Structure 1
Amino acid sequence: MDEARNLTELSTFLSTGRWDPAWICGQPLYALPASLTCALAGPTPLGLRLASVLCGLLTLPAVYLFARSIASRRTAWLAAWLVAVSHWHVIFSRIGFRAILTPLAIALCGWALARAWQRPTWTRWLSFGALCGVSWHAYFAFWLLPPLAFAALAVVALKRPPLRSRVAVSLTVFLILAGSWMLMVYARTGALLSSRVTETNVFQQTPSPVPIAMNAARALWMFTHRGDAQPRHNVPGRPAWPLLLLPFLIAGMGRAVARPTPARLGLLALWVATLLPTIFSDACPHHLRALGNVVPTAILTADGLVAGAALLARRSRRLAATLLFAFVIAGASGIGAYTYFVAYARQPALRFAFQAKECELARFIHDRLPSDRPVVVLNMVYGRESVGALVRARSDVTFVAWPLGAPVPPQVRSAGRETVWAIPQPDLVRLNALLGAPSLLAYFGPADGAPDWHLVEYPRPH
């Protein structure tokens, strides 16, 4: 549904030149590469996914630059390689969704901050603020990072007066670039935040700190025990990072604590901060919302591996260090290739995860339901746009949405003679059951104004 929605909006932009600030959930940065690839390859799933491939490829030199600015050349090359062969990163670089921009944005902003810290010129601090401001419009999982970074910089600047003016100007540039577009979105939609942020955070369910603690544990377990269960994001349950690399990740973290430097402590803080979007969400572990974590994870792992190889070289022959590098690089590459090309591709649920059934459902609605204003009810905030995209926004179809978890509105429940059958938040198994039946239930009503509900019931799936 996300890909269908993105394609519909990009197709409109390419054909008419009109852009709505609320498109792409009000986060338009992904539209830049996607417009280019869709213009070259056509507004097709392939054209859209090529944008993610492009972003994924650009992430590799960005990771190298970031790692090289805070560590050795060997660590930088190794970190870029680990990202390149990570199934976590590869999977999302093949999906037409804006989250793939998060690792790229983090790597570029981290590189800019490291350069500004090492040589605090006005140009470098302005560049850092500008990159943060532009990256704000990539994906909402990035939104926590600039406030945390500027808060930490403000504390440091209190003890370093020459840094105060530069940090202040950098912050101003960030606020201008981030806030100007958000004000345009607010003028268009009346909301400064993406509906997905308010809809998917853990505080929607309960204000208790218990879910946060449980999610924090799950976020750690996704590296060792059980990863994301969604078949679109992962081979269900597979750890996000190969277990072969886990000892070196722990070693890299240990070096950051045992031999602290501003760069190492900052990298460790970044590792924690990039897990917060999944810890604070209603779905944890969630590889997509934690995708930015692949950058600090790769650099910390590379640092631990380089340190381990150096220790071997000092205590034994250099051959042992070379063999360690060869074994880990070959092993990580083989694991990544097998996970993506074999295990991920063979999943029976993968076809459903990429909306084949939703497309069939949209075609079913389009072809079989009467044409006098059918209404499909979904209990998700963005359902109107997503399903509207799948049925090509027919003018005679009205989509009604209400917040996640809310009961069916009373006017819908009492609309007709029979019990209402609503389509819930996308549930692929249930959608499959719906499509296996002769027909489904629809509502009829006006597109705007007060609902005028009329119930039409078709045979229910059994």
Structure 2
Amino acid sequence: MDSEPSVLDYLKSRLSRKGQPFHLPELPWDAEQTPEPEGEEPPPELPPDEPRSEEKPQSPVPAGKLPWQGLAALVLALAAQTQLEPPDRNVPVAVVFYALAAGLMVWGYLAGRLRTAEPAPDAEQGINMQGTWWFLLPGAVLLVGAFISFFSNRFNFLNLFFFLTGGGLVWASLWERTPRRAGQVSRWKAVTRWLRRPRVRIELDGWQVGVALVFAVAIFYRFYHLAQTPGEMFSDHAEKLLDVNDVLNGQYAIFFERNTGREAFQFYLTALVVKVMGTGINFLNLKIGTALCGLFTLPYVYLLGKEMGSRWIGLAALLLAGIAYWPNVISRVALRFTLYPFFAAPVLYYLFRGLRRMRRNDFMWCGFWLGLGLHGYSPMRIVPFFIVLAVGLYLLHRAAQGKRWQTLAALGLVAVVALIVFLPLLSYVVGHMDMFGSRAFSRLGETERPLPGSPAGIFFSNLWKAMIMFFYSNGGIWVHSVVDRPALDVVSAALFFLGMVLLVVRYARRRDWADLLLLVSIPFLMLPSILSLAFPEENPSLNRTGAAMIPVFVTAGIGFESLFTSLWHSVRTRAGRLLVAAWVVVLAVWTMNQNYTLVFEKFHQQFMGGAWNTSEMGRVIRGFADSVGTPDTAYVVPFAHWVDTRLVGINAGYPTKDYALWPEDFEKTLSEPRTKLFIIKYDDSAALEKLKQMYPSGVLALHTNPLEGKNFWTYLVPGQPAGQ
């Protein structure tokens, strides 16, 4: 007798239907657009502004013709990169292996054994600039009022009302509305229908599940041991948290002038995290904000990969960027470093997509993220110049024929929207250009020290060091990198190199502007580091090159996609495809393991060895204040190149208190009758002897730390009984 089909049988039948979605009952957020007969399922539809096919049809690699050139190139590239891993490097062997790998990739591509996903064709028509302009004039008037009101360097209700209302009116005027399709009702009517008969339907296919799993892996790498890695702050964190404290106390600055000046985005983001978490001003809240920014950079890395030709490119780029040590470290350091790629990623995506499809809304979003990004981290200031370069390169290609004026109009649209979003900071810049540009000019010019050589010589030296940092050395700054190692792991570096070779040879054959622009974007987005002419020792740096990781990982995704799809289509047997899948798993495990080691072992150990243990001192003071003493009778004796005493107060839970007490001020404590605690550097014998002479009844204790040089003394002075 036949048995009833089980749930497992049902799932197997669904999985066997390639390309068909899983139907999980009850989840469409969009209400029904047209009534459907009972029992019938409406055909799936793409969003109205998405094309039905994003990938250009390709000629598969003939079955049985194994792309051995690509396989050999990958093996050679991996071998080459292992020769560049510190501490024992063999540069000549690595150069030979990489050169052979490049030759094999070119051979395989020209011989037709390596396929590459090509982007969708460019739109034939230019951007449509027709629209409704009725709101432009009132919007502009309100924005002028906001600009004048922002001169105070403070956000307030009035200037925010002018700014948001005026910006909203201009946005509504410029936005390109999608014509409603036959039978489609308005959004408002759809919402009211859904409210009358609410239901929810989720549809997931195997690909979406795969993307979700890869994103979950990225979440793990971004948030695992976030409180412990890194485990200490340094002086820049004190400056940031003091600014956050200002925001929480109602000082809503547009540009924060403490510590040579900083843009505002991180401080408001961290203040929001503090409010949501309710845990006070501390290092972890700083890290949560920047880790979230690093995480939400990844969807645009995926989308840009898709825009370059294939969702496999996007998925590979998402995985490599999600687990990579470079973006993970600059997110965890909890400074503004990760804001550069966070804002540059959507700018690049909407720019590439806008130039390819010539849609007005893409350029508007590009301008929005550009303007918002200028409130983030100063290296973002190079991106407007990159957009001009991108449009210029596009205009030089055949794709721009017949739509050059529309392309220039699109550039103007980006500029207008970006200028509106940038308006509060622009108001500050008008009166304070010296403060706004001081940090950048101190690296580019001679405001802090003379250039150590000829500008041209330093520039080209910096350019070379930056371009080889992916394979050789990412610099010597211990706070945001593993010193003197490649910026990429072995697998990512090898795939990035092979992807670059493919882009070069494909551009030579096809002359697609996107291939050239992706390659050019890498050095251009690294210019904030390369242009450190006054301090060339700060180049390369993972923070000021951060946005370059976006095209770097997309290029690595192109290398992976070419090898994977070429192998997959060259074999037809189940055993052969299992071998291909096993090859992918081996590469994934290799790169995941190396990046885990780099972040959670090597970087963690290096960072903790370089940072002072202010959290330990903060715990000591907190324990003292909660037991025999008070927060006001604890002191840290400063010493040259030792702890930032403000950080001790932050770690103790008193973020506005600086615990510094210099030895010449010890006498000021004599009038204090309560119990006192002094923290002294382990080798500051002069301060310790002075305290012993002043307070002979004090109790001395050594606090040891497993890391060399991190011991410190505490000297506890009992309080005087009442009446003495």
Interval containing the TM-score (normalised by the shorter chain): 0.7 to 0.9
The counterpart of 2:248, out of the listed 2, 14, 17, is 14
| Alignment of 1:193 onto 2:429 | no
Task: Tell me the equivalent position of 1:407.
Answer: none
Q: Deviations over 1:64-117 (max 9, x none)?
A: 122222231111111111111101111122122111111121211111112212
- Deviation of the 1:351 alpha carbon: 4.6
The counterpart of 2:559, out of the listed 263, 280, 304, is 304
Q: Which has the higher helix share?
A: 1
> Following the alignment from structure 1 to structure 2, what is the Cα–Cα distance between the partners of residues 395 and 323?
57
Q: Deviations over 1:171-225 (max 9, x none)?
A: 22223433541331553x4526343212233765244311122222221332222
Task: Tell me the equivalent position of 1:243.
Answer: 490
The counterpart of 1:166, out of the listed 392, 407, 410, is 410
> Following the alignment from structure 1 to structure 2, what is the Cα–Cα distance between the partners of residues 20 and 161?
36
2:559 counterpart letter in structure 1: G
> Following the alignment from structure 1 to structure 2, what is the Cα–Cα distance between the partners of residues 137 and 351?
33
> Following the alignment from structure 2 to structure 1, what is the Cα–Cα distance between the partners of residues 613 and 433?
30
1:104–1:17 Cα change, 3 Å: same
Matches within 5 A, 1:81-120: 81-120=319-358
Residue pair 2:467, 2:523 contacting (<8 A) in 1 also:
no
SS in 2 for 1:191: helix
SS in 2 for 1:259: helix
1:356–1:28 Cα change, 3 Å: same
- Deviation of the 1:393 alpha carbon: 7.0
- TM-score, normalized by length of structure 1? 0.75
Task: Tell me the equivalent position of 1:211.
Answer: 458
1:341–1:377 Cα change, 3 Å: closer
Task: Tell me the equivalent position of 1:220.
Answer: 467
| Alignment of 1:353 onto 2:611 | yes
> Following the alignment from structure 1 to structure 2, what is the Cα–Cα distance between the partners of residues 6 and 126?
32
> Following the alignment from structure 1 to structure 2, what is the Cα–Cα distance between the partners of residues 84 and 18?
34
1:224–1:286 Cα change, 3 Å: same
The counterpart of 1:37, out of the listed 247, 270, 273, is 273
> Following the alignment from structure 2 to structure 1, what is the Cα–Cα distance between the partners of residues 281 and 344?
28
Matches within 5 A, 1:260-275: 260=507, 261-275=512-526
- Deviation of the 1:310 alpha carbon: 2.5
Task: Tell me the equivalent position of 1:294.
Answer: 549
1:83 counterpart letter in structure 2: A
1:22–1:359 Cα change, 3 Å: farther
Residue pair 1:101, 1:138 contacting (<8 A) in 2 also:
yes
Residue pair 2:281, 2:655 contacting (<8 A) in 1 also:
no
The counterpart of 2:504, out of the listed 251, 257, 260, is 257
Between 194-203 and 232-241, report the one with greater CA deviation: 194-203
- Deviation of the 1:389 alpha carbon: 9.4
> Following the alignment from structure 1 to structure 2, what is the Cα–Cα distance between the partners of residues 210 and 435?
45
Residue pair 2:635, 2:659 contacting (<8 A) in 1 also:
no
Matches within 5 A, 1:53-72: 53-72=291-310
2:502 counterpart letter in structure 1: R
> Following the alignment from structure 2 to structure 1, what is the Cα–Cα distance between the partners of residues 657 and 597?
42
Q: Deviations over 1:102-160 (max 9, x none)?
A: 11212111111122123223222222112111112221122112212124315645861
Task: Tell me the equivalent position of 2:135.
Answer: none
- Deviation of the 1:161 alpha carbon: 2.0
- Deviation of the 1:276 alpha carbon: 1.7
Residue pair 1:278, 1:289 contacting (<8 A) in 2 also:
yes
Moved over 6 A (4+): 357-360, 385-397
1:135 counterpart letter in structure 2: G
Task: Tell me the equivalent position of 1:419.
Answer: none
Please, which runs of 5 or more residues in structure 2 have no aligned partner?
Answer: 1-234, 622-633, 661-679, 688-724
Larger of the two Rg values belongs to structure: 2
- Deviation of the 1:358 alpha carbon: 13
SS in 1 for 2:605: coil
Q: Deviations over 1:37-60 (max 9, x none)?
A: 122332111111110111111112
- TM-score, normalized by length of structure 2? 0.49
- Deviation of the 1:6 alpha carbon: 0.8
Residue pair 2:243, 2:267 contacting (<8 A) in 1 also:
no
Equivalenced residues, count: 391
Alpha carbon RMSD of aligned pairs, Å? 3.5
Residue pair 1:102, 1:139 contacting (<8 A) in 2 also:
yes
| Alignment of 1:76 onto 2:331 | no
SS in 2 for 1:16: coil
2:524 counterpart letter in structure 1: A
Task: Tell me the equivalent position of 2:165.
Answer: none
Residue pair 1:67, 1:299 contacting (<8 A) in 2 also:
yes
